[in-house]
Structure 1
Amino acid sequence: KKKSFNEDKPWKHHKDTSRISELERKRYEGVWVTNKGMYLDLVVTPLHANPQVDDPSMVAAAHAAQTTAEVDVHNLMLGAVVRDIWQRSRLSGDVLKQIWSLVDRRHDGCLEKEEFVVGMWLVDQCLYGRKLPKLVLEEVWNSLSRMNVNVVI
């Protein structure tokens, strides 16, 4: 016997598990807008655009410092703020670390809006009982940038 879709339990419906819906995106962006830029004035940024790196373990940090210079810091969210928001989900610290590693593309301790939105979506997916992917699909990232234009002719 085939069961019909239960509107009271949307998490049991796995049809759209590879894209972020418009309603979800708006909800996550609302959280983003209220928290972006918090405490970023306390972050020390490098003064040199091209630092000399001798230690191989610091290559990622040097690259992040270069990309930070290209990004508007007021459109970033500090990792401590993200952690505080995500911990409210009561997911384990290990799961939250995995989510962070999936969405942090710049590796500088801050998230951009798209990264934060995808991270929030992954937190919701875990709360719905779904497993974390090994890699965030390009379709998920592209679902943030799509333009929904409804034209009636």
Structure 2
Amino acid sequence: MTDVDADPLALERQVCFALSVASRSVLAVYRPLLEPMGLTHPQYLVMLALWEDSPLSVRDLSGLLQLDPGTLSPLLKRLEAAGYVRRERDRQDERLLAVTLTESGRALRAQAERIPPAIVARLGMGLDELMRLHGDLMRVINAATEAVRNERDQPR
């Protein structure tokens, strides 16, 4: 048995392991709140972006959610089939596909407003603690994004 503090490859020391388990665990907390709304967590993220600003182009939505268009497209198709969004060519630029909330999609926001306080309650953590964690995670995301960008820009 190795000393976890001395072993740089100890599973318990890996940031990637902690983030992976935390992500799965938190998404499991969201699942029963989203199911009655007919949403998966990725669909919920799309709806959050659109409740903040609609219409959005698929390109803008892809950038906001940090999802490639190939991943986003099936989510949008399912949201459209559920009657929450409408996809149509942008009137100013026919090359762009605009995503707009439908009346049902806008109305769903009232149900969704109950989710954040329910998550805080289910996690049993204070809002201030969760906001500090959010800030820390955003710094990790930004650092990782920059590291990937720098790696990609290196000559081979």
Higher strand share: 2
Query: TM-score, with normalisation over the residues of structure 2?
Result: 0.26
Structure with the greater alpha carbon radius of gyration: 2
User: Which has the higher relative contact order, 1 or 2, with Cα contacts under 8 A spaced 6 or more apart?
Assistant: 1
Query: TM-score, with normalisation over the residues of structure 1?
Result: 0.27
Higher helix share: 2
